[in-house]
Amino acid sequence: MFEELFTLKFLVLAVLCFLGSFIDSIAGGGGLITLPAYMASGLPPHLALGTNKMSGLFSSIGSSINYARSGKVNWTLMKYLLPFSFTGAFIGVKAVIRTKAESISYIVFIALVLVFLYTLFNKKIGQENEFEGLTKKNLIQGAIMALVIGFYNGFLGPGTGSFLAFFLIKIFKYDFINGNGNARILNLAGNVTGFLVFLANGKILLNYGIPISIVMFLGAQCGSHCAILKGNKFIKPIFLIVTVLTILKMFFQLF
């Protein structure tokens, strides 16, 4: 069962997944690397999606630990948003198992382009933490955001971390570090839900998923530590690079 772990193909997969989790913990978008890596290793699409969701779960745990320890997570906010993220992701995963994801890709592509352009030309966004507390208005906006992006996370996935960080910054006036810290927790919720649904439907290959999960946990630990240490000026350029790469990937898939 485990003889494949000693092949060059598996070593390349492990290196790419470490890199993907490292980047994901800084600015999201790790699925841009890890999901294609799984598919290139020969896994059928639904097995690749499920196994990637399992290892992505451990990547989220790895980065969430560091952000939480450094005080970059607002647990009061998470108490309100997590149920919506769980619900959206559950509906999304159940939907993707039965349908094709192309129908939503065009909307996501346009949204990513708008996020990229807004972030690129708004020099001040995410540079200062201007969070002033929770209100009825921003909690309602946050709940809708968590539900919609949670659904997208379960249904398709690429760009989820970027969307979460961007909208947490816009809605709650966080800087990139605090926005990213809270985004990691919401992403973790979606990954837990996705993992459980894929597992229940037999769509996870454990002899790949277990060792790659360990690799991605370590990659996320390294990446989040680096982000916390270097700050907002380090995160924003990587956020923009990851977003534009996601846009390019989706462009070539769609057109």
User: Which pLDDT band, with edges at 50, 70 and 90, does 97 fall under?
Assistant: low
pLDDT (0 to 100) of residue 6: 63
Q: How confident is the model at residue 9 (pLDDT cuts 50, 70, 90)?
A: confident
> What single-letter DSSP state applies at residue 6?
G
pLDDT at residue 178 tops 90: yes
pTM of the model: 0.84
pLDDT at 156 over 80: no
pLDDT recorded at residue 223? 94
pLDDT at 40: 85
Using the Cα atoms of residue 119, residue 120, residue 123 and residue 126 in order, give the sign of their dihedral: positive
Average pLDDT of the segment spanning 144-148: 95
174, 129 contact by CB (below 8 A): yes
Q: What pLDDT, on a 0 to 100 scale, did the predictor assign at position 104?
A: 65
The yes-or-no verdict on residue 219 having pLDDT over 90 is yes
107 vs 83, more confident: 83
Please say if the pLDDT value at position 220 is more than 90.
yes
Rg of the chain taking only CA atoms, in angstroms: 17
pLDDT of 172: 95
The count of structural domains within the chain is: 1
pLDDT at 101 over 60: no
Structural domain boundaries enclosing 117 = 3-254
Per-state percent for the chain, helix, strand, coil, to nearest 5: 80, 0, 20
Q: Could you read off the pLDDT of 44-58 as tens digits, one per residue?
A: 877 888 898 899 999
pLDDT on residue 123: 77
**Residue 173: its pLDDT value, please?**
94
Average pLDDT, the chain: 87
pLDDT of residue 155 exceeding 90, the answer is no
- Residues 176 and 187: their CA atoms lie apart, in Å, by 16
What burial letters (b/e) apply to 167-186, b meaning 16+ CB within 10 Å?
bbbbbbbbbbbbbbbbbbbb
Tens of pLDDT along 55-91?
999 999 999 999 999 999 999 999 999 999 999 988 8
